[in-house]
Structure 1
Amino acid sequence: MSPHRPTNLWRRTATLGIAVLLATGTATAVPPALATTHPDHTIGTHLGDVRVLAHFDRAAGQVAESIALEPDGGVIIGMIPARQVVRVAPDGTLRVLLTMPLPPGGGGTTPVVGTPVVTGVARSDSGAVYFLYSSGQGGLTGIWQVSPSGEPRLVVPLPADTFPNALVIDGKRDRFLVTDSTGGRIWQAPLRGGAASVWSADPALAPDGFFGANGMKIHDGAVWASNSDHGTIVRIPVTNDGGSGRAQVRATGLAGIDDFDFTGRGSEILAAINETSKLVRVGADGTQETLLDAENGMEGTTAVAVRGDRVYVTNGANLAGDDPTLMLAELRRH
């Protein structure tokens, strides 16, 4: 299949960021301005000093998928088909924190992808590290914690037919929030552990044959989520009692979007576009410009995290190239 004219199947495979490796209420209307895209001649305008902080082993399944930042500049990353949680030190040194075992029978029942994967990661203020495991089996799929001994501990079980993807800690309400990409939902569960419940099943989160809700952040009194199949970013207001309001589409035209983060300047977003290996700036009005692409080392871009003037980006190298990396860049605000 030509990468210049991707089929729907190719596009949906790209949003997950692993299939190539494995093979070897209604939303509100979108104002026209939200679909405006700036030319790519602005590459490098807002990011500088782009460099690779760490290289990963693609042959071993180390497709970097998600990012959780540590106060000392370290980074926790989920490695999808390797079923690993790893830590990258500020100097780029890599340490595997744990590798999840295969389920009985090999775990071929994982929704859509057919193999067990570690996806989202999160770190609490106390330093506890959590991650998502999608195995297609009850009692294994859910939110796990890396215990001090390095052993995994199941904190919140999720139904076997879910595909948990992004994990966020809502410290204000002492809860986890989890996107379910194949179910088109966001789940919530107590931070102390226990049963999960559906927080939102807004139609704007639904997939169109592959993956719907994917990346997620809490910002400005709302939960924001990307939808990979629809190429959108939606904002779901949090009600006074912690519930979900009606989703509002805030950006379109982002086919194959994976994770994203806010720059600290209002609602400006940096979005990882897995399908086209790009890091895209999305303005508060939805306008877009490419900041980094293949010429800058993007290869199957999966996640982005911003802290101050530092931007961390992971590349899975799943559709282009063979060098999955963690990259670091300087955010220049002008």
Structure 2
Amino acid sequence: MPQRSVQPLRRTTALVLTALLATTPTALATPARPDHGRTCLGDVRVLAHFDRAAGQAAESIAPEPGGGAVVGMIPARQVVRVERTGAVRVLATMPLPPDGGGTTPVVGTPVVTGVVRSGGGAVHFLYSSGRGGLTGVWRLRRSGAPELVVPLPADTMPNALVVDDERDRFLVTDSTGGRVWQAPLRGGAASVWSADPALAPVDFFGANGLKVHDGAVWASNSDRGTIVRIPVAEDGGPGRAEVRASGLEGVDDFDFTGRGTEILAAVNQSSRLVRVSADGTGETLLDAGDGMRGTTAVVVRGNRAYVTNGANLVGGDSNLLLAELRRC
């Protein structure tokens, strides 16, 4: 999630969670250069539009078999399912805490953030409320009722959620604490996996997006505009983080294209989808001219990229977009 706004409104709405937008976009530190065989996008289309007036600012994405997806919504506090037809159905709406969520770190309102779908089909998601007993990893039961399976401290801002199948654990970024937490997939107590300084915020959000790839945990840092790689040791613990890309101020979520360490990054602050090559250079593939509005997340499945636009603080259309990955 991008750097904070200086306006109180941006501090107190859940819109800022997925990325507060600054007024001036920041260019990549290193200009793009030709890269034979790089990934391009084609057949870009909107799969679903959301009710932004009702708080449906699209955040994270969990693709499902058949072409649909589960999407987290802020500040509606919802998890929704998007069918391949574009139909949208609310699966769960999280309850407000007794104090209304005013103690939620930084944003001052409770929010649903990361969503993930396990190999068995179970849907898990993150809820940050500023209250113990509500903040943490939740599972959506078959009955439709959500169940807290991994409690997290009230002062955390859980943001991205991934399943590390190799080690049977969840990994969760804590944006305000600048940490990555771990917890068993079966549920239970969480512990800090890494608090490397590269994950720390400057004054708003640090660690944000999260992926496990090629023997390492990768995380974006919104305040610092970086993507870092943390190698995983044989015992499952963290090595020292190294910065693999920079100049991405306000970077939110990201994913790998399937071509080595090439990345697609959602840059919320400037409403862009950026291709980051293995050497860290970047190229904008989609921007505001293509309808990007507060780009919050990107997930790659096969030759498809799913992209969410939260339209947070910039107005416009909150949506789920699909694009075909092509070699160019």
Length-normalised TM-score, structure 2? 0.91
Residues 1:18 and 2:18 aligned together: no
1:75 paired residue number: 69
2:23 paired residue number: none
Residues 1:62 and 2:66 aligned together: no
2:182 paired residue number: 188
Q: Structure 1 residue aligned with 2:102, among 64, 84, 108?
A: 108
- Please show how residues 140-289 of structure 1 align to structure 2 within 5 Å: 140-289=134-283
| Compared CA separation, residues 289 and 91, structure 1 to 2 (3 A) | same
Question: Residues of 2 paired with 1:87 and 1:37: CA distance?
Answer: 38
Question: Residues of 1 paired with 2:132 and 2:281: CA distance?
Answer: 42
Instruction: Tell me which amino acid in the other structure corresponds to 1:76.
Output: V
Shift of residue 8 of structure 1?
6.4
Q: Structure 2 residue aligned with 1:97, among 91, 95, 114?
A: 91
Shift of residue 37 of structure 1?
2.1
Question: Residues of 1 paired with 2:246 and 2:65: CA distance?
Answer: 33
Question: Residues of 1 paired with 2:237 and 2:180: CA distance?
Answer: 11
Write out per-residue CA displacement over residues 148-201 of structure 1, whole angstroms, 9 at most, x where no aligned residue. Answer: 011010000000000000000001111000000000000000000000000000
- Please show how residues 39-50 of structure 1 align to structure 2 within 5 Å: 46-50=40-44
Aligned to 2:46, the other structure's residue is in SS state strand
Residues 1:134 and 2:131 aligned together: no
Shift of residue 17 of structure 1?
7.3
Instruction: Tell me which amino acid in the other structure corresponds to 2:186.
Output: R
Instruction: Tell me which amino acid in the other structure corresponds to 1:239.
Output: A
Shift of residue 70 of structure 1?
1.1
CA contact (8 A) 1:45 1:291 kept: no
| Compared CA separation, residues 206 and 132, structure 1 to 2 (3 A) | same
Shift of residue 310 of structure 1?
0.6
CA contact (8 A) 1:17 1:274 kept: no
Question: Residues of 2 paired with 1:17 and 1:308: CA distance?
Answer: 31
Shift of residue 98 of structure 1?
0.4
Aligned to 2:247, the other structure's residue is in SS state coil
Coordinate RMSD, CA, aligned: 2.3
Question: Residues of 2 paired with 1:267 and 1:154: CA distance?
Answer: 34
CA contact (8 A) 2:221 2:251 kept: yes
Shift of residue 19 of structure 1?
3.3
Point out 4+ residue stretches in structure 1 off by more than 3 angstroms. Answer: 6-10
- Please show how residues 279-318 of structure 1 align to structure 2 within 5 Å: 279-318=273-312
Shift of residue 132 of structure 1?
0.2
Write out per-residue CA displacement over residues 90-120 of structure 1, whole angstroms, 9 at most, x where no aligned residue. Answer: 1111111000010112111000000000000
Instruction: Tell me which amino acid in the other structure corresponds to 2:55.
Output: G
Question: Unpaired runs of 5+ in structure 1?
Answer: 1-5, 24-33
Aligned to 1:295, the other structure's residue is in SS state helix
Question: Residues of 1 paired with 2:193 and 2:29: CA distance?
Answer: 28
Question: Residues of 1 paired with 2:210 and 2:108: CA distance?
Answer: 23
Residues 1:86 and 2:80 aligned together: yes
Shift of residue 87 of structure 1?
0.7
| Compared CA separation, residues 188 and 7, structure 1 to 2 (3 A) | closer
Aligned length: 313
CA contact (8 A) 2:252 2:296 kept: yes
CA contact (8 A) 1:17 1:316 kept: no
Question: Unpaired runs of 5+ in structure 2?
Answer: 21-27
Shift of residue 20 of structure 1?
9.9
Q: Which has the higher helix share?
A: 1
